[in-house]
């Protein structure tokens, strides 16, 4: 039965010196509960004794993990970019479809709410005729797309800290993914000066400025970060500059070492406390709300 | 205080001070004295816990599951004094460095896995480990400890560092710790807790054993 199989050790169908098979088993296998694998491996003849088992385990985990790291490093920032673009597409299409379904439903049913919430209600209705069926089906597609958007966002929450631990902690997973997407990858984000990071996502405004039609933008997509949004308007420029500076360093740390650097985060917190202290010193409340 | 140190961890005069140390190949440019290399409590929560005199229940040679190994700074010291050590880390880049640390040791097994999903490595990590060392610094630290309890021997030890800011940036660390401990106590009996602030700001050290 499958329960036996799924609870077998990694070595169950791995020939003793086959590292490729070991890698597949370690990477792709699973078990609900652990067991006394060293003893079972010796009993099954995979290893001569527990020392020999640990030698084989060492070789197998080193190989499997080295391969898995190489593969993930190649793939992950690209995956994040696809996911964050898919979030935006799902959101836009879900809203458009919901609007269409709600408008249509309003001509046939009473008390229809607007937006995705409205689409969800319509999706629950019983159809009386063929046209009802079409409206309800359309609404349920809008609702399903909204669900897909949420599932994609949850995936980004999980993947972003693995791809860019410093950036994800500093910016939050979704904004981290957006910055990576706007730059075209973690490596190119890591190579951007902080002034560019500050206005990523404000390309239109930047273009208008360069062609002499507008003042220079103070911030791009990092505006959505609490440190900028929650700072009073006259200090937002400094907040955006400070945040962008640390985000640029976070991206470099993530790309070049991948290690979490506590000191970056502390520096940013201190810098923000200083900027916000100005507002308090003026006895004047910030524009946004922290909680 | 030093009687609570496991065999293989000693206080030694290195680099002009008395420092915790283990015997093994150097990893992060730490000062050494012959085979001994200093264990910096500022760079390691478990090192901080030893320095603060926690009763970890470790005596040396244990089988250990290490969650959140990063590039192996602490895991390397653990592997120096413990027995077979399984090191779980989910970020590829630090794992690249962890591989070098593991290469230089006989019984340190690196795994690129998500500690929130123990079923993805329960076919590799053995049952009945003597200690789980956990330092994941992400939201849901109590849940990680709870899910991994399946690996721990009945009288084994969970040696946990809780980072308040990972759970909630805005909350008071003490409130965060209270919540984490409450969740932990559904699965574990908490034996000892103390703030690690001397070495790690807003972190709580916890020693627990399965209920
Ligand atoms: C504070 S660092 C650990 C430092 C390490 N313990 C040391 O002292 O050398 C936290 C590590 O946990 C990892 N981590 C966070 N969540 C994780 C998870 N769910 N599974 C595995 N590792 C995780 C992070 O990638 C990061 O490398």
* Nearest partner of B20 among B61, B59, B77, B64, judged by Cα: B77
Domains of chain B: 40-210 (3.40.50.150)
Q: Which residues of B touch A63 (CB under 8 A)?
A: none
* Nearest partner of B206 among B148, B41, B189, B198, judged by Cα: B189
> pLDDT per residue over B108-117, tens digit each?
999 999 999 9
Q: How large a percentage of chain A has pLDDT more than 90?
A: 69
Q: Which helix (H) or strand (E) covers residue B192, if one does?
A: strand B188-195
pLDDT at A1 over 50: no
Specify the pLDDT at position A2: 39
d(CA B203, CA A166): 18
By the 8 A CB rule, do A39 and B79 touch?
A: no
pLDDT at A64 over 90: yes
CA distance B1 to chain A (A): 29
Taking the Cβ of residue A4 and every Cβ of chain B, the question of whether any pair is shorter than 8 Å is answered with: no
Pocket test for ligand 1, best of B22, B137, B144, B164 (most atoms within 8 A of CB): B137
- With bands split at pLDDT 50, 70 and 90, how would you rate the model's confidence at A216? confident
d(CA B110, CA B97): 10
CB contact under 8 A, A76 and B92: yes
- With bands split at pLDDT 50, 70 and 90, how would you rate the model's confidence at A162? confident
Helix (H, G, I), strand (E, B), or coil: what is residue B189?
strand
Name residues whose C-beta falls within 8 Å of residue A212's C-beta, 6 or more positions apart in sequence.
none
> Looking at chain A from residue 121 to 150, which residues have their Cβ under 8 Å from any Cβ of chain B?
none
Q: Is B70 in the pocket of ligand 1 (CB under 6 A)?
A: yes
Q: Could you tell me the strand order of the sheet in which B203-210 lies?
A: B108-112, B85-89, B64-67, B129-134, B152-163, B203-210, B188-195
CATH no. for A164-279: 1.10.246.90
> Residue ranges of the domains in chain A?
19-74, 76-163, 164-279
Mean of per-residue pLDDT scores for chain A = 89
d(CA B49, CA B64): 16
The region that residue B16 occupies, defined by phi over 0 for left and psi between -120 and 50 for alpha, beta otherwise, is left
Q: Is B111 in the pocket of ligand 1 (CB under 6 A)?
A: no
Q: What is the mean pLDDT of residues A218-242?
A: 90
Of the two residues A114 and A218, the one the predictor is more confident about is A114
Specify the pLDDT at position A90: 97
By the 8 A CB rule, do B186 and B142 touch?
A: no
User: Ligand 1: distance of its center to the CA of A259 in Å?
Assistant: 9
Specify the pLDDT at position A6: 52
Of the two residues A33 and A281, the one the predictor is more confident about is A33
pLDDT at A288 over 50: no
Q: What is the mean pLDDT of residues B57-75?
A: 96
Specify the pLDDT at position A283: 61
Angle at A60 between CA A56 and CA A63, to 5 degrees: 140
Of the two residues B92 and B195, the one the predictor is more confident about is B195
CB contact under 8 A, A58 and B106: yes
Q: Is B76 in the pocket of ligand 1 (CB under 6 A)?
A: no
DSSP state, B162?
A: E
d(CA A253, CA B87): 22
Q: Which residue of B112, B114, B127 is in closest CB contact with A35?
A: B127
Q: What is the mean pLDDT of residues A236-251?
A: 94
- With bands split at pLDDT 50, 70 and 90, how would you rate the model's confidence at A46? very high
User: Ligand 1: distance of its center to the CA of B46 in Å?
Assistant: 13
CA distances from residue B199 to A26, A158, A215, B42, B205 in whole angstroms, order as listed: 36, 29, 47, 5, 11
pLDDT at B77 over 90: yes
């Amino acid at each position: 039965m499958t329960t036996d199989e799924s609870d077998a050790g990694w070595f169950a169908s791995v020939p003793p010196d086959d590292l490729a098979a070991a890698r597949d088993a370690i990477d792709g296998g699973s078990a609900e509960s652990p067991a006394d694998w060293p003893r079972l491996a010796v009993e099954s003849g995979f290893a001569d004794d527990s020392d020999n088992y640990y030698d084989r385990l060492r070789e197998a985990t080193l190989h499997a993990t080295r391969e898995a790291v190489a593969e993930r490093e190649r793939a992950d920032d690209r995956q994040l970019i696809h996911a964050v673009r898919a979030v935006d597409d799902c959101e836009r299409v879900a809203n458009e479809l919901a609007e269409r379904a709600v408008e249509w439903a309003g001509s046939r049913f009473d008390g229809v709410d607007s937006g995705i919430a409205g689409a969800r209600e319509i999706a629950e209705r019983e159809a009386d005729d063929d046209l009802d069926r079409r409206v309800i089906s359309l609404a349920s597609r809008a609702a399903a797309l909204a669900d897909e958007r949420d599932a994609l966002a949850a995936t980004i929450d999980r993947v972003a800290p693995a791809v860019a631990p410093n950036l994800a902690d500093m910016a939050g997973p979704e904004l981290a993914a957006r910055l990576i997407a706007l730059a075209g990858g973690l490596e190119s984000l890591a190579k951007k000066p902080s002034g560019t990071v500050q206005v990523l996502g404000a390309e239109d405004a930047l273009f208008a400025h360069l062609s002499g039609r507008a003042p220079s933008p103070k911030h791009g997509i990092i505006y959505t970060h609490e440190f900028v949004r929650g700072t009073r308007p006259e200090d937002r420029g400094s907040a955006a500059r400070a945040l962008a500076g640390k985000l640029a360093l976070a991206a470099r740390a993530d790309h070049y070492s991948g290690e979490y650097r506590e000191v970056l985060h502390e520096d940013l917190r201190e810098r923000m406390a200083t900027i916000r202290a100005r507002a308090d010193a003026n006895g004047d409340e910030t524009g946004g709300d922290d909680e | 205080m030093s009687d609570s140190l496991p065999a293989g961890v000693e206080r030694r005069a290195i680099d002009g001070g008395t420092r915790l140390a283990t015997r093994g190949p150097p990893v992060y440019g730490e000062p050494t004295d012959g085979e001994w290399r200093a264990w910096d409590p500022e760079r390691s929560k478990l090192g901080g816990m030893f320095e603060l005199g926690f009763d970890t229940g470790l005596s040396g040679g244990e089988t250990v599951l290490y969650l959140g190994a990063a590039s192996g700074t602490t895991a390397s010291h653990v592997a120096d004094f413990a027995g077979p050590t399984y090191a779980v880390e989910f970020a590829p880049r630090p794992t690249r460095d962890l591989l070098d640390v593991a290469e230089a040791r006989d019984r340190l097994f690196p795994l690129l896995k998500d500690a929130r999903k123990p079923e993805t490595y329960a076919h590799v990590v053995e049952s009945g480990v003597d200690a789980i060392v956990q330092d994941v610094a992400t939201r849901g630290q109590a849940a990680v400890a709870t899910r991994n309890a399946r690996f721990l021997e009945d009288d084994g030890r969970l040696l946990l560092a809780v980072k308040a800011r990972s759970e909630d940036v805005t909350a008071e660390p003490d409130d965060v710790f209270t919540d984490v401990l409450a969740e932990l106590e559904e699965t574990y009996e908490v034996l000892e807790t103390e703030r690690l602030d001397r070495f790690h700001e807003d972190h709580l050290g916890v020693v627990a054993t399965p209920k």
